[in-house]
Chain A
Amino acid sequence: MTGSTPLIRMEHVGKHFGTFKALNDINLEVTKGERIVVCGPSGSGKSTMIRCINRLEKHDEGRIFIGDIELTDKLKDLNAVRREVGMVFQSFNLFPHMTILKNLMLAQKLVRKTPKAEARDVAMHYLERVKIPEQADKYPIQMSGGQQQRVAIARALCMKPEVMLFDEPTSALDPEMINEVLEVMTDLAKDGMTMICVTHEMGFARSVADRVIFMDAGEIVEEGTPETFFSAPKSERTKLFLSQILSH
Protein backbone atom coordinates (compact mmCIF):
# COMPACT_ATOMS: atom_id res chain seq x y z
CA MET A 1 0.00 0.00 0.00
CA THR A 2 2.00 2.92 -1.29
CA GLY A 3 1.05 6.38 -2.47
CA SER A 4 -2.33 7.98 -1.77
CA THR A 5 -5.06 6.33 0.31
CA PRO A 6 -7.33 4.08 -1.73
CA LEU A 7 -10.78 5.41 -2.67
CA ILE A 8 -12.50 2.29 -1.36
CA ARG A 9 -11.10 -0.13 1.16
CA MET A 10 -12.85 -3.28 2.38
CA GLU A 11 -11.22 -5.23 5.21
CA HIS A 12 -12.44 -8.72 6.17
CA VAL A 13 -16.01 -7.77 5.28
CA GLY A 14 -18.71 -10.33 6.04
CA LYS A 15 -22.49 -10.26 5.66
CA HIS A 16 -25.22 -12.67 6.65
CA PHE A 17 -28.82 -12.97 5.57
CA GLY A 18 -30.20 -15.08 8.39
CA THR A 19 -28.07 -18.20 8.36
CA PHE A 20 -26.96 -17.64 4.77
CA LYS A 21 -23.46 -16.22 4.50
CA ALA A 22 -23.62 -13.78 1.58
CA LEU A 23 -20.13 -12.33 1.99
CA ASN A 24 -17.15 -13.92 3.68
CA ASP A 25 -13.84 -12.19 4.43
CA ILE A 26 -13.87 -9.77 1.50
CA ASN A 27 -10.70 -7.72 1.12
CA LEU A 28 -10.59 -5.15 -1.65
CA GLU A 29 -8.84 -1.88 -2.38
CA VAL A 30 -9.80 0.38 -5.22
CA THR A 31 -7.57 3.31 -6.13
CA LYS A 32 -8.63 6.40 -8.01
CA GLY A 33 -9.14 5.81 -11.70
CA GLU A 34 -9.20 2.04 -11.40
CA ARG A 35 -11.74 0.05 -13.41
CA ILE A 36 -12.79 -3.21 -11.88
CA VAL A 37 -15.10 -5.87 -13.27
CA VAL A 38 -16.68 -8.32 -10.83
CA CYS A 39 -18.09 -11.57 -12.18
CA GLY A 40 -19.29 -14.86 -10.79
CA PRO A 41 -22.33 -17.12 -10.74
CA SER A 42 -25.65 -15.81 -9.46
CA GLY A 43 -25.87 -15.83 -5.69
CA SER A 44 -22.11 -15.44 -5.37
CA GLY A 45 -22.36 -12.15 -3.48
CA LYS A 46 -21.28 -9.74 -6.24
CA SER A 47 -24.30 -7.48 -5.92
CA THR A 48 -24.25 -7.67 -2.14
CA MET A 49 -20.62 -6.55 -2.16
CA ILE A 50 -21.20 -3.40 -4.17
CA ARG A 51 -24.44 -2.67 -2.33
CA CYS A 52 -22.40 -2.67 0.89
CA ILE A 53 -20.11 -0.02 -0.60
CA ASN A 54 -22.88 2.58 -0.61
CA ARG A 55 -24.58 0.97 2.35
CA LEU A 56 -27.78 -0.16 0.67
CA GLU A 57 -26.84 -3.24 2.68
CA LYS A 58 -25.09 -3.08 6.05
CA HIS A 59 -22.09 -5.37 6.45
CA ASP A 60 -21.91 -7.11 9.79
CA GLU A 61 -18.24 -8.05 9.92
CA GLY A 62 -15.05 -6.18 9.04
CA ARG A 63 -14.68 -2.55 7.97
CA ILE A 64 -15.43 -0.50 4.86
CA PHE A 65 -13.83 2.90 4.14
CA ILE A 66 -14.82 5.40 1.48
CA GLY A 67 -11.76 7.67 1.34
CA ASP A 68 -11.07 8.40 4.99
CA ILE A 69 -14.63 7.84 6.19
CA GLU A 70 -15.63 4.52 7.65
CA LEU A 71 -19.16 3.21 7.04
CA THR A 72 -20.65 2.56 10.46
CA ASP A 73 -24.00 3.04 12.17
CA LYS A 74 -22.54 6.05 13.94
CA LEU A 75 -21.83 7.80 10.66
CA LYS A 76 -23.80 11.03 10.88
CA ASP A 77 -24.02 12.05 7.29
CA LEU A 78 -24.32 8.85 5.31
CA ASN A 79 -25.83 10.77 2.45
CA ALA A 80 -22.67 12.86 2.16
CA VAL A 81 -20.85 9.60 1.45
CA ARG A 82 -23.53 8.30 -0.86
CA ARG A 83 -23.43 11.29 -3.14
CA GLU A 84 -19.76 10.50 -3.81
CA VAL A 85 -20.72 6.98 -4.87
CA GLY A 86 -22.90 6.72 -7.96
CA MET A 87 -24.95 3.59 -8.48
CA VAL A 88 -26.57 2.09 -11.56
CA PHE A 89 -29.09 -0.71 -11.07
CA GLN A 90 -30.05 -3.71 -13.13
CA SER A 91 -33.66 -2.52 -13.45
CA PHE A 92 -32.78 1.17 -14.06
CA ASN A 93 -35.01 2.38 -11.22
CA LEU A 94 -35.77 5.72 -12.80
CA PHE A 95 -38.39 7.77 -10.95
CA PRO A 96 -41.44 6.84 -13.03
CA HIS A 97 -43.48 9.94 -12.20
CA MET A 98 -40.85 12.47 -13.29
CA THR A 99 -39.63 13.50 -16.71
CA ILE A 100 -36.08 12.55 -17.65
CA LEU A 101 -34.88 16.08 -16.90
CA LYS A 102 -36.53 16.07 -13.48
CA ASN A 103 -35.02 12.65 -12.77
CA LEU A 104 -31.61 14.20 -13.32
CA MET A 105 -32.28 17.38 -11.38
CA LEU A 106 -33.98 16.05 -8.23
CA ALA A 107 -30.98 14.82 -6.24
CA GLN A 108 -28.83 17.73 -7.38
CA LYS A 109 -31.33 20.14 -5.90
CA LEU A 110 -32.09 18.19 -2.74
CA VAL A 111 -28.71 16.72 -1.88
CA ARG A 112 -26.15 18.97 -3.56
CA LYS A 113 -28.35 22.08 -3.07
CA THR A 114 -27.55 23.10 -6.63
CA PRO A 115 -29.64 26.07 -7.88
CA LYS A 116 -32.32 25.04 -10.36
CA ALA A 117 -30.84 26.66 -13.47
CA GLU A 118 -27.46 25.15 -12.81
CA ALA A 119 -28.96 21.73 -12.11
CA ARG A 120 -30.72 21.92 -15.46
CA ASP A 121 -27.46 22.77 -17.24
CA VAL A 122 -25.65 19.88 -15.54
CA ALA A 123 -28.51 17.53 -16.43
CA MET A 124 -28.49 18.57 -20.09
CA HIS A 125 -24.70 18.22 -20.18
CA TYR A 126 -24.86 14.60 -19.06
CA LEU A 127 -27.84 13.81 -21.25
CA GLU A 128 -25.69 14.91 -24.16
CA ARG A 129 -22.91 12.68 -22.96
CA VAL A 130 -25.22 9.67 -23.02
CA LYS A 131 -26.52 10.94 -26.38
CA ILE A 132 -30.21 11.47 -25.64
CA PRO A 133 -30.66 15.20 -24.94
CA GLU A 134 -33.76 15.28 -27.16
CA GLN A 135 -35.60 12.97 -24.74
CA ALA A 136 -35.37 15.36 -21.79
CA ASP A 137 -39.11 15.97 -21.46
CA LYS A 138 -40.25 12.38 -21.85
CA TYR A 139 -41.29 10.06 -19.07
CA PRO A 140 -39.21 6.91 -18.46
CA ILE A 141 -41.97 4.58 -19.69
CA GLN A 142 -41.84 6.27 -23.08
CA MET A 143 -38.24 5.17 -23.67
CA SER A 144 -36.54 1.88 -24.53
CA GLY A 145 -34.71 -0.05 -21.84
CA GLY A 146 -31.33 0.93 -23.28
CA GLN A 147 -32.29 4.59 -23.23
CA GLN A 148 -33.58 4.29 -19.67
CA GLN A 149 -30.34 2.78 -18.51
CA ARG A 150 -28.35 5.56 -20.17
CA VAL A 151 -30.53 8.07 -18.34
CA ALA A 152 -29.86 6.21 -15.10
CA ILE A 153 -26.12 6.51 -15.74
CA ALA A 154 -26.50 10.23 -16.49
CA ARG A 155 -28.55 10.67 -13.31
CA ALA A 156 -25.76 9.19 -11.22
CA LEU A 157 -23.12 11.27 -13.03
CA CYS A 158 -25.01 14.49 -12.29
CA MET A 159 -23.98 14.08 -8.66
CA LYS A 160 -20.32 14.23 -9.80
CA PRO A 161 -19.42 11.06 -7.90
CA GLU A 162 -15.88 9.91 -7.17
CA VAL A 163 -16.72 6.35 -8.06
CA MET A 164 -19.47 4.62 -10.06
CA LEU A 165 -20.94 1.24 -9.12
CA PHE A 166 -22.73 -0.79 -11.80
CA ASP A 167 -24.94 -3.67 -10.67
CA GLU A 168 -25.48 -5.85 -13.75
CA PRO A 169 -26.46 -2.83 -15.85
CA THR A 170 -27.18 -4.81 -19.02
CA SER A 171 -28.81 -7.94 -17.60
CA ALA A 172 -32.37 -6.65 -17.96
CA LEU A 173 -31.87 -5.39 -21.52
CA ASP A 174 -32.83 -6.89 -24.84
CA PRO A 175 -29.69 -8.00 -26.68
CA GLU A 176 -29.82 -5.21 -29.26
CA MET A 177 -29.69 -2.58 -26.53
CA ILE A 178 -26.72 -3.88 -24.60
CA ASN A 179 -24.10 -2.22 -26.77
CA GLU A 180 -25.43 1.32 -26.46
CA VAL A 181 -25.10 1.04 -22.69
CA LEU A 182 -21.66 -0.57 -22.82
CA GLU A 183 -20.49 2.22 -25.15
CA VAL A 184 -21.48 4.83 -22.60
CA MET A 185 -19.67 2.89 -19.89
CA THR A 186 -16.57 2.55 -22.05
CA ASP A 187 -16.53 6.30 -22.72
CA LEU A 188 -16.78 6.88 -19.01
CA ALA A 189 -13.84 4.58 -18.37
CA LYS A 190 -11.76 6.44 -20.98
CA ASP A 191 -12.39 9.69 -19.11
CA GLY A 192 -10.78 8.19 -16.03
CA MET A 193 -13.87 7.47 -13.90
CA THR A 194 -13.27 5.01 -11.08
CA MET A 195 -15.68 2.13 -11.72
CA ILE A 196 -16.73 -1.15 -10.19
CA CYS A 197 -18.93 -3.13 -12.58
CA VAL A 198 -20.75 -6.33 -11.78
CA THR A 199 -21.34 -7.77 -15.23
CA HIS A 200 -21.15 -10.89 -17.36
CA GLU A 201 -20.10 -8.92 -20.44
CA MET A 202 -16.67 -10.46 -20.84
CA GLY A 203 -15.87 -8.42 -23.92
CA PHE A 204 -16.32 -5.29 -21.87
CA ALA A 205 -14.14 -6.76 -19.11
CA ARG A 206 -11.39 -7.57 -21.57
CA SER A 207 -11.28 -4.16 -23.20
CA VAL A 208 -11.93 -1.88 -20.25
CA ALA A 209 -11.03 -3.50 -16.93
CA ASP A 210 -7.76 -2.96 -15.10
CA ARG A 211 -8.64 -5.84 -12.86
CA VAL A 212 -11.16 -8.69 -12.99
CA ILE A 213 -12.47 -10.21 -9.78
CA PHE A 214 -14.17 -13.59 -9.67
CA MET A 215 -16.50 -14.30 -6.78
CA ASP A 216 -18.17 -17.52 -5.71
CA ALA A 217 -20.10 -18.42 -2.55
CA GLY A 218 -19.52 -15.02 -0.99
CA GLU A 219 -15.76 -15.05 -1.43
CA ILE A 220 -13.28 -13.48 -3.81
CA VAL A 221 -11.83 -16.57 -5.42
CA GLU A 222 -9.46 -14.99 -7.88
CA GLU A 223 -8.40 -11.62 -9.22
CA GLY A 224 -6.02 -10.42 -11.86
CA THR A 225 -5.57 -8.41 -15.02
CA PRO A 226 -7.93 -9.39 -17.83
CA GLU A 227 -5.05 -11.00 -19.76
CA THR A 228 -4.04 -13.38 -17.01
CA PHE A 229 -7.62 -13.88 -15.79
CA PHE A 230 -8.98 -15.03 -19.13
CA SER A 231 -5.94 -16.84 -20.52
CA ALA A 232 -4.59 -18.46 -17.37
CA PRO A 233 -7.22 -18.75 -14.64
CA LYS A 234 -5.75 -20.37 -11.56
CA SER A 235 -8.72 -21.84 -9.69
CA GLU A 236 -10.91 -24.68 -10.90
CA ARG A 237 -14.06 -22.74 -10.02
CA THR A 238 -12.98 -19.86 -12.26
CA LYS A 239 -12.23 -22.24 -15.12
CA LEU A 240 -15.63 -23.88 -14.79
CA PHE A 241 -17.41 -20.52 -14.68
CA LEU A 242 -15.51 -19.19 -17.70
CA SER A 243 -16.18 -22.32 -19.70
CA GLN A 244 -19.91 -21.98 -19.00
CA ILE A 245 -20.16 -18.29 -19.73
CA LEU A 246 -17.93 -18.21 -22.81
CA SER A 247 -19.48 -21.26 -24.43
CA HIS A 248 -22.48 -19.31 -25.63
Chain B
Amino acid sequence: MSFDVSLILSALPKMLMGIGLTFQLLILSGVLGLMLAIVLMLMRISGKWYLSWPAQVYIYVFRGTPILVQIFIVYYGFPQLDFIRDSFLWPIFRDPFGCATVALTLNTGAYVSEILRGGVLGVDRGVLEAGEALGLNPRQRFTYLTTPIAARLALPAYGNDVISLLKSTALASTITLADMTGIARTLVAQTYAPYEIFISLAIVYMIITFLIQKLMARIERWLGRYTVRTS
Protein backbone atom coordinates (compact mmCIF):
# COMPACT_ATOMS: atom_id res chain seq x y z
CA MET B 1 0.00 0.00 0.00
CA SER B 2 1.48 3.32 -1.05
CA PHE B 3 0.29 6.71 -2.13
CA ASP B 4 0.35 6.73 -5.93
CA VAL B 5 0.79 10.26 -7.30
CA SER B 6 0.63 9.25 -10.94
CA LEU B 7 -2.75 7.66 -10.24
CA ILE B 8 -4.01 11.00 -8.90
CA LEU B 9 -2.73 12.78 -12.00
CA SER B 10 -4.60 10.41 -14.27
CA ALA B 11 -7.75 10.28 -12.12
CA LEU B 12 -8.18 14.03 -11.53
CA PRO B 13 -8.96 14.97 -15.15
CA LYS B 14 -11.46 12.14 -15.31
CA MET B 15 -13.22 13.29 -12.16
CA LEU B 16 -13.21 16.90 -13.33
CA MET B 17 -15.25 15.77 -16.33
CA GLY B 18 -18.08 15.60 -13.81
CA ILE B 19 -17.66 19.15 -12.52
CA GLY B 20 -20.08 20.46 -15.12
CA LEU B 21 -22.78 18.14 -13.84
CA THR B 22 -22.01 19.09 -10.25
CA PHE B 23 -22.39 22.78 -11.11
CA GLN B 24 -25.54 22.19 -13.15
CA LEU B 25 -27.13 20.48 -10.16
CA LEU B 26 -25.89 23.17 -7.79
CA ILE B 27 -27.02 26.16 -9.82
CA LEU B 28 -30.30 24.76 -11.11
CA SER B 29 -31.52 23.47 -7.76
CA GLY B 30 -30.04 26.51 -6.00
CA VAL B 31 -32.07 28.94 -8.12
CA LEU B 32 -35.26 26.87 -8.13
CA GLY B 33 -34.86 26.16 -4.41
CA LEU B 34 -34.52 29.87 -3.66
CA MET B 35 -37.73 30.59 -5.57
CA LEU B 36 -39.51 27.81 -3.69
CA ALA B 37 -38.09 29.15 -0.42
CA ILE B 38 -39.46 32.64 -1.10
CA VAL B 39 -42.93 31.23 -1.76
CA LEU B 40 -42.79 29.07 1.40
CA MET B 41 -41.54 31.98 3.49
CA LEU B 42 -44.30 34.28 2.22
CA MET B 43 -46.85 31.57 3.01
CA ARG B 44 -45.46 31.21 6.52
CA ILE B 45 -45.52 34.92 7.36
CA SER B 46 -48.86 35.53 5.59
CA GLY B 47 -50.78 35.28 8.86
CA LYS B 48 -53.37 33.10 7.13
CA TRP B 49 -53.53 29.62 8.61
CA TYR B 50 -54.49 27.93 5.34
CA LEU B 51 -51.22 29.20 3.83
CA SER B 52 -48.87 29.06 6.78
CA TRP B 53 -49.96 25.61 7.90
CA PRO B 54 -49.12 23.71 4.70
CA ALA B 55 -45.81 25.57 4.49
CA GLN B 56 -44.96 24.63 8.06
CA VAL B 57 -45.79 20.97 7.47
CA TYR B 58 -43.74 20.97 4.28
CA ILE B 59 -40.73 22.49 6.01
CA TYR B 60 -41.07 20.11 8.94
CA VAL B 61 -41.18 17.02 6.70
CA PHE B 62 -38.31 18.03 4.44
CA ARG B 63 -36.06 19.13 7.28
CA GLY B 64 -36.92 16.07 9.34
CA THR B 65 -35.98 13.41 6.79
CA PRO B 66 -32.63 12.58 5.16
CA ILE B 67 -31.97 14.06 1.73
CA LEU B 68 -30.95 10.61 0.52
CA VAL B 69 -34.40 9.25 1.35
CA GLN B 70 -35.96 12.17 -0.51
CA ILE B 71 -33.80 11.42 -3.54
CA PHE B 72 -34.82 7.75 -3.48
CA ILE B 73 -38.52 8.58 -3.11
CA VAL B 74 -38.33 10.81 -6.18
CA TYR B 75 -36.14 8.49 -8.23
CA TYR B 76 -37.49 5.05 -7.32
CA GLY B 77 -40.89 5.92 -5.86
CA PHE B 78 -42.43 8.52 -8.16
CA PRO B 79 -42.20 6.52 -11.41
CA GLN B 80 -44.40 3.93 -9.72
CA LEU B 81 -47.28 6.42 -9.47
CA ASP B 82 -49.62 6.46 -12.45
CA PHE B 83 -50.55 10.11 -12.21
CA ILE B 84 -46.88 11.03 -12.54
CA ARG B 85 -46.29 8.66 -15.45
CA ASP B 86 -49.30 10.17 -17.22
CA SER B 87 -48.46 13.80 -16.52
CA PHE B 88 -46.41 16.25 -18.54
CA LEU B 89 -43.78 16.03 -15.77
CA TRP B 90 -42.89 12.45 -16.70
CA PRO B 91 -39.84 13.41 -18.80
CA ILE B 92 -38.36 15.01 -15.68
CA PHE B 93 -38.93 12.01 -13.42
CA ARG B 94 -37.80 9.53 -16.06
CA ASP B 95 -34.37 11.15 -16.01
CA PRO B 96 -32.02 10.76 -13.02
CA PHE B 97 -30.77 14.32 -13.51
CA GLY B 98 -34.36 15.58 -13.31
CA CYS B 99 -34.97 13.51 -10.18
CA ALA B 100 -31.82 14.75 -8.48
CA THR B 101 -32.67 18.35 -9.34
CA VAL B 102 -36.23 18.00 -8.05
CA ALA B 103 -35.13 16.36 -4.78
CA LEU B 104 -32.35 18.87 -4.15
CA THR B 105 -34.71 21.77 -4.94
CA LEU B 106 -37.43 20.52 -2.62
CA ASN B 107 -34.88 19.95 0.13
CA THR B 108 -32.96 23.21 -0.04
CA GLY B 109 -36.22 25.17 -0.43
CA ALA B 110 -37.32 24.02 3.02
CA TYR B 111 -34.05 25.04 4.68
CA VAL B 112 -33.67 28.35 2.87
CA SER B 113 -37.25 29.40 3.63
CA GLU B 114 -36.44 29.23 7.33
CA ILE B 115 -33.28 31.25 6.77
CA LEU B 116 -35.23 33.91 4.89
CA ARG B 117 -37.89 33.96 7.58
CA GLY B 118 -35.19 34.57 10.17
CA GLY B 119 -34.03 37.54 8.12
CA VAL B 120 -37.52 38.97 7.81
CA LEU B 121 -38.18 38.56 11.52
CA GLY B 122 -34.85 40.25 12.25
CA VAL B 123 -35.86 43.52 10.60
CA ASP B 124 -36.18 46.26 13.21
CA ARG B 125 -39.86 46.90 13.92
CA GLY B 126 -39.18 50.59 14.44
CA VAL B 127 -37.94 50.96 10.88
CA LEU B 128 -41.15 49.42 9.55
CA GLU B 129 -43.20 51.68 11.82
CA ALA B 130 -41.39 54.70 10.45
CA GLY B 131 -42.34 53.57 6.96
CA GLU B 132 -45.92 53.12 8.11
CA ALA B 133 -45.98 56.59 9.66
CA LEU B 134 -44.74 58.06 6.38
CA GLY B 135 -47.71 56.49 4.60
CA LEU B 136 -46.01 53.54 2.86
CA ASN B 137 -48.53 50.75 2.32
CA PRO B 138 -47.71 47.17 3.40
CA ARG B 139 -46.55 46.16 -0.07
CA GLN B 140 -44.24 49.17 -0.34
CA ARG B 141 -42.84 48.51 3.13
CA PHE B 142 -42.13 44.91 2.18
CA THR B 143 -40.45 45.83 -1.11
CA TYR B 144 -38.37 48.80 -0.08
CA LEU B 145 -37.65 48.12 3.60
CA THR B 146 -38.12 44.48 4.64
CA THR B 147 -36.65 42.80 1.55
CA PRO B 148 -33.29 44.59 1.32
CA ILE B 149 -32.69 44.54 5.09
CA ALA B 150 -33.75 40.88 5.46
CA ALA B 151 -31.55 39.86 2.51
CA ARG B 152 -28.54 41.33 4.26
CA LEU B 153 -29.42 39.61 7.54
CA ALA B 154 -30.03 36.22 5.91
CA LEU B 155 -26.95 36.15 3.70
CA PRO B 156 -24.39 34.49 6.01
CA ALA B 157 -26.73 31.59 6.80
CA TYR B 158 -27.72 31.38 3.16
CA GLY B 159 -24.07 31.01 2.16
CA ASN B 160 -23.76 28.03 4.48
CA ASP B 161 -26.80 26.48 2.88
CA VAL B 162 -25.33 26.85 -0.60
CA ILE B 163 -22.30 24.91 0.65
CA SER B 164 -24.60 22.22 2.10
CA LEU B 165 -26.31 22.05 -1.27
CA LEU B 166 -22.95 21.59 -3.01
CA LYS B 167 -22.21 18.67 -0.71
CA SER B 168 -25.65 17.20 -1.29
CA THR B 169 -25.09 17.19 -5.06
CA ALA B 170 -22.57 14.40 -4.41
CA LEU B 171 -25.53 12.16 -3.51
CA ALA B 172 -26.66 12.29 -7.14
CA SER B 173 -24.04 9.57 -7.63
CA THR B 174 -26.33 7.17 -5.75
CA ILE B 175 -28.89 7.33 -8.57
CA THR B 176 -26.43 6.58 -11.39
CA LEU B 177 -25.42 10.16 -12.23
CA ALA B 178 -21.79 10.64 -13.25
CA ASP B 179 -21.05 13.79 -11.30
CA MET B 180 -17.57 14.13 -9.79
CA THR B 181 -18.38 11.77 -6.94
CA GLY B 182 -20.03 9.29 -9.28
CA ILE B 183 -16.94 9.16 -11.48
CA ALA B 184 -14.72 8.82 -8.41
CA ARG B 185 -16.70 5.85 -7.17
CA THR B 186 -16.35 4.15 -10.54
CA LEU B 187 -12.60 4.81 -10.53
CA VAL B 188 -12.21 3.42 -7.02
CA ALA B 189 -14.07 0.30 -8.06
CA GLN B 190 -11.64 -0.10 -10.98
CA THR B 191 -8.35 0.83 -9.29
CA TYR B 192 -9.11 0.07 -5.67
CA ALA B 193 -7.22 3.19 -4.62
CA PRO B 194 -9.67 4.97 -2.32
CA TYR B 195 -7.10 7.22 -0.63
CA GLU B 196 -5.68 8.78 -3.77
CA ILE B 197 -8.99 9.27 -5.51
CA PHE B 198 -11.30 10.29 -2.67
CA ILE B 199 -8.78 12.63 -1.04
CA SER B 200 -7.96 14.43 -4.25
CA LEU B 201 -11.69 14.79 -4.93
CA ALA B 202 -12.25 16.08 -1.39
CA ILE B 203 -9.68 18.78 -2.14
CA VAL B 204 -11.59 19.76 -5.27
CA TYR B 205 -14.79 20.13 -3.22
CA MET B 206 -12.93 22.16 -0.60
CA ILE B 207 -11.67 24.52 -3.27
CA ILE B 208 -15.21 25.02 -4.58
CA THR B 209 -16.43 25.58 -1.02
CA PHE B 210 -13.70 28.17 -0.52
CA LEU B 211 -14.68 29.97 -3.72
CA ILE B 212 -18.37 30.01 -2.71
CA GLN B 213 -17.38 31.48 0.65
CA LYS B 214 -15.33 34.18 -1.07
CA LEU B 215 -18.20 35.03 -3.38
CA MET B 216 -20.64 35.22 -0.48
CA ALA B 217 -18.29 37.44 1.52
CA ARG B 218 -18.08 39.78 -1.43
CA ILE B 219 -21.88 39.95 -1.80
CA GLU B 220 -22.16 40.46 1.95
CA ARG B 221 -19.76 43.39 1.85
CA TRP B 222 -21.72 44.94 -0.99
CA LEU B 223 -25.14 44.41 0.59
CA GLY B 224 -23.85 45.46 3.99
CA ARG B 225 -22.05 48.62 2.95
CA TYR B 226 -24.46 50.60 5.13
CA THR B 227 -23.35 48.73 8.24
CA VAL B 228 -19.85 50.15 8.16
CA ARG B 229 -19.33 53.20 10.33
CA THR B 230 -16.57 54.89 8.38
CA SER B 231 -17.50 56.19 4.95
Contacts and interface: CB of A to CB of B under 8 A. Distances in A.
- Whether A and B touch (Cβ < 8 Å) is answered with yes
Interface of A: 54, 56, 79-80, 82-83, 85-87, 89, 91, 93-98, 106-107, 110-111, 138-142, 152, 155-156, 159
A97 B152 contact: yes
Nearest to B141: A110
B144 interface: yes
Contact of B229 (A89, A98, A141): A141
B170 to A, nearest CB: 37
Interface residues of B, number: 25
A159 to B, nearest CB: 6
B171 interface: no
B152 to A, nearest CB: 7
Given A87-B133, A107-B134, A93 B144 contact: no
B42 interface: no
Contacts of B129: 56, 89, 93
B163 interface: no
Contacts of B145: 95
B144 A141 contact: no
Nearest to B226: A139
A79 B139 CA distance: 12
A96 B151 CA distance: 13
A97 B149 contact: yes
Contacts of A106: 134, 136, 144
A2 B208 CA distance: 77
A149 to B, nearest CB: 12
A82 B133 contact: yes
B209 to A, nearest CB: 29
Contact of A97 (B134, B226, B229): B226
Contacts of B127: 93-96
27 contacts: A56-B129, A79-B137, A82-B133, A82-B134, A83-B134, A83-B135, A87-B130, A89-B129, A89-B133, A91-B126, A93-B126, A93-B129, A95-B131, A97-B149, A107-B131, A111-B134, A111-B135, A111-B136, A138-B231, A139-B225, A139-B228, A139-B231, A141-B226, A141-B229, A142-B228, A142-B229, A155-B130
Contact of B130 (A79, A93, A97): A93
Nearest to B228: A141
A91 B126 CA distance: 8
Contacts of A155: 130, 134
B140 interface: yes
A156 B134 contact: yes
A110 B144 contact: yes
Nearest to A111: B135
Given A96-B127, A96-B227, A110 B133 contact: no
B230 interface: yes
Contacts of B226: 96-98, 139-141
A239 to B, nearest CB: 34
Contacts of A110: 136, 140, 144
A56 B133 contact: yes
Contacts of A111: 134-136, 140
A89 B227 CA distance: 21
Nearest to A142: B231
A85 B231 CA distance: 33
Interface string B202-231: 000000000000000000000001111111
B135 A107 contact: yes
B203 to A, nearest CB: 38
